[in-house]
């Protein structure tokens, strides 16, 4: 099952980002803010290593992250979550997977792949605000695994039961984190109530 982030600060921002009256500038800011909260939880189980640090007073026993992180936004809407996660893990590497949903079939079409070698052996975080049918996320996970990735989490903002089931059936090893699991998909395979077309709302390209 996907893990929901139910923190009131996330849910409050989600209410605003869903609102059709929220314009692209505020939408982008909220996508960044919500991503930070979700990733804070999604990265909770990262491996750490003990290190000694000399403070001005004494030696402290501390912990540092002990894996190579690769953030993978699914183009184009996933880029709207990139700043948010990089605020948490600024040294992460970034790989890109370009996918769009064919308007007729609703199936993902791959048009770009650029992944750093650290996907093999590192920890990959796939980011995309919308996990609808799950086709795009599942295709991105196939691409990552074909490039040697084995430790992967997915962070989205809104998903729905059909999409979660689709991804979990194909990738049971991958945990999904989301701020909302909505009711269903409509006949156009949009999430209901969702937030509309995330790419258009992020980049102001609908009208």
Q: How far is CA 173 from CA 99, 186, 201, in A?
A: 22, 28, 31
User: What's the chain's length in residues?
Assistant: 207
Q: Which of 22, 110, 120, 200 is catalytic?
A: 200
Q: Which of 105, 114, 183, 184 is catalytic?
A: 105
Nearest approach in angstroms of CB 205 to ligand PRP is 8
**163 belongs to the binding site for ligand PRP (CB under 6 A):** yes
Q: With contact defined as beta carbons under 8 Å apart, do 191 and 198 qualify?
A: no
Nearest approach in angstroms of CB 49 to ligand PRP is 34
Find the binding residues for ligand PRP in span 7-46 (CB under 6 A): none
Nearest approach in angstroms of CB 164 to ligand PRP is 10
Q: Which contacts (CB < 8 Å, 24+ apart) does range 23-27 have?
A: 23/204, 24/201, 24/202, 24/203, 24/204, 27/201, 27/202
**130 belongs to the binding site for ligand PRP (CB under 6 A):** yes
CA 66, 136, 101, 41 torsion: positive or negative?
A: negative
Find the binding residues for ligand PRP in span 62-81 (CB under 6 A): 74, 76-77
How many angstroms separate the CA atoms of 84 and 94, rounded?
Answer: 13
Residues annotated as catalytic are 101, 105, 197, 200
Instruction: Using CB under 6 A, list all residues that contact ligand URA.
Output: 130, 132, 190-191, 194, 197-199
Instruction: Using CB under 6 A, list all residues that contact ligand PRP.
Output: 74, 76-77, 99-101, 108, 128-137, 163, 189, 198-199
């Amino acid at each position: 099952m996907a893990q929901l982030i139910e923190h009131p600060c996330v849910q409050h921002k989600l209410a605003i980002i869903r609102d059709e009256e929220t314009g692209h500038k505020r939408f982008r800011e909220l996508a960044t803010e919500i991503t930070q909260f979700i990733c804070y939880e999604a990265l909770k189980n990262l491996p750490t290593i003990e290190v000694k640090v000399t403070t001005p007073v004494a030696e402290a026993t501390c912990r540092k992250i002990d894996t190579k992180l690769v953030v993978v936004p699914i183009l184009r809407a996933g880029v709207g979550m990139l700043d948010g996660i990089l605020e948490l893990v600024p040294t992460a590497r970034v790989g890109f997977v370009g996918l769009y949903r064919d308007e007729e079939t609703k199936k993902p079409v791959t048009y770009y792949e650029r992944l750093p070698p650290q996907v093999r052996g590192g920890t990959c975080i796939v980011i995309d605000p919308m996990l609808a049918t799950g086709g795009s996320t599942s295709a991105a996970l196939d691409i990552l695994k074909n490039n040697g990735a084995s430790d992967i989490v997915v962070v989205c903002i809104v998903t729905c039961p059909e999409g979660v089931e689709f991804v979990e059936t194909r990738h049971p090893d991958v945990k999904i984190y989301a701020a909302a699991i909505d009711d269903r998909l409509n006949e156009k395979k949009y999430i209901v109530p969702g937030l509309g077309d995330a790419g258009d709302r992020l980049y102001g390209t609908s009208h």
